[in-house]
Amino acid sequence: MIVRERSLRAVLSTLVQRFGAGPREPALLPPMPPGAFCLIIEAERVVAASRAARRALGAAGEHGASLAALLDRLGADDPALREALGALAHDGAGFRLRSRLDPIGVVEATGSPQGGRCLLMIRDATRDVEAEAALALRLADAEAETAALRAALSRAGVSVERCGADGGIVWRTRPGAEEVGEGSVSEPPLAPVADPGGAPTAGAAALPDGGVVRVVSCAHAAADVSLRRFAETVAETFAHLRTGLAIFDGDRRLILSNPALAEIFDADARWLAGRPTLRETLDRLREARKLPEQADYPAWRARLFTLFDAPDQAHYEDVWALPDGRSVHVIGRPHPVGGIAFVIEDVTEAMALQRWRNTAVEVRRATLDMLGDGVAVFGPDGLLRMSNPAFRDMWDLPERSDGASADHVADVAARCAALCVDSDVWSRMRAAVAGGGGRAPWRGRVRLSDGRVVDGRIAPMPDGSTLAAFSDVTDSERIAAALRERAAALEAAEEMRNALVDQLSQRLRTPLTALFGFTQMLSEGRAGPLSPQQAAYLDNIEDAARSLLESVENLADLASMQVGEVSLATGDVALAPALTGAIGLLERRLLERGARIELGAVAAGATAEGDPARLRQMIFNMLFDAVSRAREGETLCVGLDAAEDAVTLWCAGGAASEPRGAETGRVDREAAPDGRDRSGAASGPGLAQALARRVAELHGGSMTISERGGRTMAVCRLPLRRRADAAE
């Protein structure tokens, strides 16, 4: 029995392998659409396959074919299908994809796990691909046609919106605007609009899907878009301006502001973006001390609120003086969309500049009005732009009243030219204003018919105007004429004096020389012996003649020095020997006066650069003047000091002249060339003093005379090196 059962099983196995599953196929394979075939894979082998699968796949689709053979067959045309089928067999990952399979062409393969098995269904998708390509072409044509239609609607000034079944806007168009797509709608649906004639121009149509298409065709729609764009442009422009902008709607709520507003009031931009009311804005700025101080703040704020009662007629303009010293110009005007728009500008610098300008103008005007010179400015058009009172008084012009037209240069020139004597200043003025002659500056003197003399100046100004300035020099001209006459008289007197001195010198020298000769002859006894009394008389006559001759010579020297006819030699002069020599020459006169000279400190090596003869003459005349003033029994003190840059010769003693009106005290004076001090008192033998002073000046030095307690102190200061211009 056992042998028979094993034989039957072997026969059945052979039949299954030869003829396939046979009757089991309908039970394992699911229903398939036309043109499709499927396979069932289990344990990496094909356990069931439709007849179409076996025909298409050949041996790889036979019952019992290995998974590797099936993968090689399917993956030959499409590696992606091979990978998806491998993932299905090993991991149970389902898939659906399109691939190519010879000889069928384009197929759609679907793989799904079925318990412990895998189902692979392959369908011919060639017709589907062709249908999808045709649909894609139709869709592209439809989309192009739709875009063209929407563009045409936008250019035609027609607004269209499509709403879905739920009432939401799918898309819309605006005249002159881009299409608004689904999900980006931020505006309410279009409302019917009437044209100026009153007929509505909006319509709506129902769609098969339950939606609605609304159409509005009106010129006002395009105007609305233009207005909105204009508002956006203005807002963008104000965002970059330094002028603050604040727009409040009819509810007094801030709907628009720019960054400059926050900057001017130092406010929080985020708080302003929260759309505060006008009341809240004003109160917050007042708390921060960014508003002008008001005696009655609620009343002031209420006046601003009243602007919203009639926005179309609102007009507000004021300058706010803020507590921090700034000035803010505020303007309120109606806004096109309702409410009030405030424009705020910081005018602190502008007002400071305006104040500075006004002050400068007033200062200039006051300065010109106070000038003694007449000043006038003529504009490029020839009109008198500005003149001061001195100009009008000088040329006898009437005062121009307020509101009167400006005088023209031709009228002013005609009136002023009649007052001139042979002068072309006003013809030059007309030419300068007209631009003739290259507008070159001019300066000249003008004589008026009433005897006045004025200096005139004409100069072009940078702005094209012409300046005319006149200075009254009548008094200066008269003084100059008087000075010229006096100088001429002084020159004539100087010539007469020089001539007189010359004549005296010539006429006195000859008789004095003869007198000296006869005196000598008598002294020698040529006319016979002389008694002692006669000899004394002759000595007195000789001394008097010698003194007169010295005075004449000194007078001639002084005259020649004053007229600049003295030539000085140059050399180093030892002053100490010259001083002792002068004292020796004055011994006889000292005996006659009953006085004596006492030497003080004398710098033995003191020297000065100059003319030796003139310096010795200066020392002698200085001491001679002092000896001539000495009282009987008086001691004169003489000294010589040396310093690094100068030497000083001084002499103390001699009677002083009491100035008129003075009691006691010190009187400082300098000797004048005529021998009289500055107090007007005679200086006695002042000729020698004047001569000594003049020699000191010729050598670049000076000589001063001071008096105290009735005594005279003469000080002569000489530089070590004589200046080159000292004798000029």
Question: pLDDT tens digits for 625-674?
Answer: 888 888 888 888 999 888 888 899 989 887 654 433 333 333 333 333 34
Domain ranges, residue 484: 478-544
3-state secondary structure 453-521: EEEEEEEECCCCCEEEEEEECHHHHHHHHHHHHHHHHHHHHHHHHHHHHHHHHHHHHHHHHHHHHHHHH
Q: How far apart are CA 181 and CA 188, in angstroms?
A: 14
Q: Are residues 536 and 632 in the same domain?
A: no
Sign of CA dihedral 24, 27, 28, 29: positive
400 and 413 in a single domain? The answer is: yes
Residues 570 and 662 in one domain: yes
List, for residues 540-597, the tens digit of each pLDDT value: 887 777 777 766 766 666 566 555 556 677 888 888 888 888 888 788 888 888 888 8
- Residue 489 and residue 444 in one domain: no
Verify that 236 and 246 share a domain, yes or no: no
Establish if 498 belongs to a structural domain: yes
| pLDDT the model gives residue 502 | 67
Domains of the chain: total: 6
Say how many C-beta atoms besides its own lie within 10 A of residue 169's C-beta.
23
Same-domain pairing of 602 and 700:
yes
| Range in 260-269, 341-350, 354-363, 665-674 with the lowest mean pLDDT | 665-674
Together in a domain, 458 and 490: no
Residue 603 shares a structural domain with residue 711: yes
Domain membership of residue 561 (yes or no) is: no
Report how far residue 368's alpha carbon sits from residue 372's, in angstroms, rounded to the nearest whole number. Answer: 9
Nearest to 600 by CA among 640, 656, 554: 640
Residue 193 lies in a domain: no
Phi, psi of 502 (to 5 degrees): -65, -40
Residues 395 and 420 grouped into a single domain:
yes
509, 544, 579 — which closes off a domain?
A: 544
**Domain contains 691:** yes
CATH code at 333?
A: 3.30.450.20
Give the 3-state secondary structure of residue 56: helix
pLDDT for 566 equals 60
Structural domain contains residue 726: no
Is residue 553 in a domain?
Answer: no
For residues 35 and 106, membership in a common domain is answered with yes
CA distances from 204 to 162, 214, 215, 697 (A): 9, 4, 6, 123
Tell me, yes or no, whether 301 lies in a domain.
yes
How many whole angstroms separate alpha carbon 624 and alpha carbon 654? 10
Determine if the pTM surpasses 0.75: no
Question: Last residue of some domain: 512, 544, 576?
Answer: 544
Pair 454, 526 in one domain = no
- d(CA 500, CA 155) in angstroms, rounded, equals 121
Q: Of the ranges 66-75, 553-562, 680-689, which is most confident? A: 66-75
Q: Rounded distance, CA 248 to CA 238, Å?
A: 15
Within 288-424, where are the H helices? 297-305, 348-370, 389-394, 409-417
Tokens of 660: 């008129």
Residue-wise pLDDT for 448-504, tens only, equals: 888 888 998 999 888 888 999 999 888 888 888 888 888 877 777 667 666 666 666
Give per-residue pLDDT as tens, 279-330.
999 999 999 999 999 999 999 999 999 888 887 778 899 999 999 999 999 9
| pLDDT of 369 above 70 | yes
Question: Comparing 170-179, 387-396, 551-560, which segment has the lowest mean pLDDT?
Answer: 170-179
pLDDT (0 to 100) of residue 176: 45
Q: Of 124, 141, 173, which one is at a domain's C-terminal end?
A: 124
In a domain, 32, yes or no: yes
Does position 411 have pLDDT exceeding 70, yes or no? yes
pLDDT of residue 26: 43
Nearest to 377 by CA among 470, 474, 472, 473: 470
CA distance 354 to 359: 8
Q: What is the pLDDT of residue 218?
A: 56
Looking at residue 280, its pLDDT comes to 92
Query: Cβ distance 535 to 527 under 8 Å?
Result: no
CA distances in angstroms from 712 to 357, 453, 705, listed in the order given: 66, 52, 7
Clarify whether residues 483 and 459 are in a common domain. no
